[in-house]
Structure 1
Amino acid sequence: MFFVGIFIMSFAIGITVHAGLGTTTISSPPVVWTAATGLSLGWTTIIFNGFLILCQMIVLRSQFKPHMLIQIVWAFLFGFLCDFSLLLTTWAETDNYFVAWIWVIVATILMSIGVFIEVLPNITFIAGEGIVSALVTRFPKVEFGTMKQIVDWTFVSCAAILSWITMGALIGVREGTVFAAFFIGFFVRQWRKLYLRSIGH
C-alpha cells in the first residue's frame, strides 16, 4: 500500500507540473528549485526530502529512531518516481485554463488519496508526511489532516519566497498551488473519516 500511495502522489505531481497552474504543495519547493537551478525535479525532490528528514530529527530529538532513516531510501524512490511520472503525464499539458483547472482538481484529489494510503499503515512515511507525523507527535492535540494543512502552507510560503529571491517572479507557485494547500489536508481528513466509519469507529 505504501508504494501505491507514493506512486499516486508522484503521478499527481506530474499532472500539476504539466497543467501549469502551480504544482502541489509538497512539490512546490523542489519545482521552484528545479526552475532556478536546472536540476531535475527528481533530484531537487531527493534533496528537499533529505532536508525534511533533518527537520524531523530536530523536532523529535530523542524520539527520532534509527529505523526512521529508511526515509532516505524513500526519498530516492520518490524522486525517481517524480521524474518518471513527468514522462507519464505529458498528456496533461494544455493551454486551456478551464482544462488546466480540471487537472489541478483531479491531481489534488489523487494527492490526498496517495497521502492517505501512504500513512494508513502508520509504519513508515516519505519525508513530507514524516515531518507532519513528527509535528503531530510533538503537538498531539492537532490531528494529522490539520497539521498537514499547516505544513503545506509553510511549503508554499517558502517556495514563493525562494522563487522571488532566485528568479524575481512566482514560478511553480500559482492558484493551483493555493487550491492544493487548502484542500489536500481537507480531503485527507475526509478519507480518514470514511475509513474509520467503515471499520466501525
Structure 2
Amino acid sequence: MIELNKLPVCIFKRYLLLLVGLTIMAFGVAFSIKASLGTSPISSVPYVVSLFTPLTVGTATITMHCVFIALQILILRRNYHPIQLMQLPVAFFFGYLTDFGVWAVQKIGYTAYWQQWLLCLAGILLVAAGVSLEVKAGVVVLAGEGVILAICKVLPKVKFGYMKVAFDVTLVVIACTMSFVFTGRLQGVREGTVAAALLVGLIAKQFGKVLEKWKLEGTIE
C-alpha cells in the first residue's frame, strides 16, 4: 500500500512516465511514416486521411481518438467511468506530438530499400517502447485500447488478444478502402504494417519484463 505522504510522488511519476511513453510512441509513428513502408494499424487510418484532406496526421489522430471515446460511451453507457475522459487530453497531446515528430524527421533521407527497413524497424522499436511505458504508468489507456476494453467488458467471453487483432484488421481494411476510394491507389498499408502488427506486441512484452523491476510506489528500495 502506498503511504499517503508519498501518493503525490507516485502520481507524478506515473503521469511523467505516461508522457515519456507517448512522446516515444509519437516518434515511432513518425519514423514509420518516413519509412514509406506502411504505418502501424492504429496509425493507418489517420495517415490515409491526411493524404486526401487538409488534416495533418496528428490532427487526424486526434479526431479518430475522439470518435473512439464516443464509441466507448455508446458501448458502455451507464458503465462508462468519467475518469476515462482523461483519454481526451492524452489524445491531443499524442496528436500534436505526432505532428512534431513528423516535422522532426522530415530531413532524414534514404536511397535504398534496406534503409527504409531500418527506419521502419526504428519506428516499431519506438512504438513498442512507448506502449510498454504507457502500460507501466497504469493511469490511462489510449482511446483505441479503450474501445477494445469496452467491447471485452460487454462481451466477457471475448479475449482481449483476439479483439485486438480484429480491431487492428478492421482499421487496416478501413484505411485500404479509403486509400483506394480517395487516392486511387493503396497507400499507408504495406509490408511495414504487417511487421508492426506482428512485432510491436512481442517487443513491448520484452520491454515490459525489464520495466517490472522498476517500482513506481515512490519508495526507495
TM-score, scaled to structure 2: 0.79
Sort the Cα spacing of 1:184 and 1:34 in 2 relative to 1 into closer, same or farther, 3 A: same
Residue 23 of structure 1 aligns to a residue whose secondary structure is: coil
Question: Is the CA contact (8 Å cut-off) linking 2:34 and 2:119 kept in structure 1?
Answer: no
Partner of 2:184: 168
Partner of 2:119: 103
Match of 2:203 among 171, 178, 187: 187
Residue 27 of structure 1 aligns to a residue whose secondary structure is: helix
Deviates more, 1:45-54 or 1:182-191: 182-191
The answer to whether the aligner puts 1:121 opposite 2:137 as a matched pair is yes
Partner of 1:39: 55
Q: Write the mapping of 1:39-78 to structure 2, written as runs, cut at 5 A.
A: 39-78=55-94
Displacement of 1:102 after TM fit?
1.5
Displacement of 1:145 after TM fit?
5.3
Sort the Cα spacing of 1:198 and 1:135 in 2 relative to 1 into closer, same or farther, 3 A: farther
Q: Write the mapping of 1:85-100 to structure 2, written as runs, cut at 5 A.
A: 85-100=101-116
The AA in structure 2 aligned to 1:26 is I
Deviates more, 1:159-168 or 1:134-143: 134-143
Identical-residue share of aligned pairs (%): 36
TM-score, scaled to structure 1: 0.87
Sort the Cα spacing of 1:26 and 1:92 in 2 relative to 1 into closer, same or farther, 3 A: farther
Unaligned runs of at least 5 residues, structure 1: none
The answer to whether the aligner puts 1:11 opposite 2:27 as a matched pair is yes
Partner of 2:37: 21
Deviates more, 1:77-86 or 1:49-58: 49-58
Question: Is the CA contact (8 Å cut-off) linking 2:31 and 2:119 kept in structure 1?
Answer: yes
Count of aligned pairs between the two proteins: 199
The AA in structure 1 aligned to 2:61 is T
* Larger gyration radius, structure 1 or structure 2: 2
Question: Is the CA contact (8 Å cut-off) linking 1:149 and 1:184 kept in structure 2?
Answer: no
